[in-house]
Amino acid sequence: MRWSAPRVPDIKGLVDRYQLYNRVLQRNVALIYNFGSPCTYWRNTSITPTGTLPTNGTKCYCWSNPVDGGGTTENQSTQPDRFHFLCGGTGYIDVNGTGGGYQKYGYREHIFSTPSNLTLTSGLVVTGNRNSCYSLSSSELNGTITTEMITLDQFKDVDFLLFNDVVDTNINRIDYFYSVDGTNWTQLTTTTYTDNLLANKESTLVLPSTTTQIQFRIILRKKALNVPSPQWNSIRFRYRQGYTLAEIDPRFSTYTYPSFLASREQSTAIIEGSTDHGGWVTKFPLKFWVLPESTVENADVIQFLAGTYQGMLFATSDVIKYTYGNDTQILHRGFKAELIRDNHDVLKIAKFLI
């Protein structure tokens, strides 16, 4: 016989009728804003969700063999310099036009250097260890390097603009310009960048929040043909995309940069067999959860900005996305956080994470 109605009721329809999922999400928001700790993170652009290297990324010059200067296919290393200042050891200065290196939460950073897709005038040559800079040939007094036009996504304001070069003001110089339309160029005023781990010069750039694109131009000049050339290595440009925690909730007025809240879950005990110790090992991993918009993923470097773990760096793992509904909308994300210790590669490039 056939049943006149389905034997099993429409559970999803019943739950949606009373909007229980939305109420759970509202409860999570109330909990996180009462018990959460402000955090930020950096994401390694060389790690894809499937664990493979990006197929459309611009490799940093640190892949080249440091002994012979590299640059050609036969001199390519099988891996990048894990402690390189420019790419942070990721090996990429751009991935599909969205930036490279370590991307900080709420920001987008673009790095331009010798492997980038640049427009060059004649007389510019790649020199330096690992082909790390552009210089003028002995037959040219000046040369121009122009970057690609960057599309600004959800632009709020410029966070920093850093330059890395070598000049002798008595015999040569490098001038920097920017354009938001590709036609009109404005010269940038540079000053010494005190934290010279990433660069040696910086510039203050204020743009309207309606700005949608930008590109840069570098002009190398020297006084005479027989004097040494200036050397240009890189530009780092980072802008803010996300809202600050102070803008989201006035109670967090001291956090004037993009950050999010994470709340610690109850302690759990994990018992594992270990051949190293010849027995069982009991662990009490740190577990946290965040709201859906805090897009924490595996292998992120997370830093707590307040509370017990203030200033400490953790590596995230075992990310779980708790979802509901036919479209698997995320209610919250849970993850484990392991303190980054001396034997962790990230600790050796932590000084570059700003």
How would you class 99 by CB atoms within 10 Å of its CB: exposed for 0-12, middle for 13-18, buried for 19 or more? buried
User: What does residue 129 show for φ and ψ, rounded to 5 degrees?
Assistant: -60, 130
Mean pLDDT of the chain: 87
Residues 314-341 have pLDDT tens digits of 999 999 998 876 667 788 999 999 999 8
pLDDT for the residue 54: 81
Residues 43-52 have pLDDT tens digits of 999 987 777 7
Q: Is the pLDDT of residue 279 over 50?
A: yes
pLDDT for the residue 68: 46
DSSP 8-state code for residue 105? T
Q: Is the pLDDT of residue 249 over 70?
A: yes
Query: Selecting from 3.30.430, 2.60.120, 3.10.28, 2.60.40, what CATH number does the domain 57-95+107-240 have?
Result: 2.60.120
Q: Which of 85, 70, 117, 347 is nearest to 236 (CA)?
A: 85
Mean pLDDT along residues 5-33: 72
pLDDT for the residue 324: 75
Of 2-6, 148-152, 160-164, minimum mean pLDDT range: 2-6
User: For the chain, which residues make up each domain, given as ranges?
Assistant: 11-42+245-352, 57-95+107-240
Q: Dihedral sign for Cα 346, 91, 193, 151, please.
A: negative
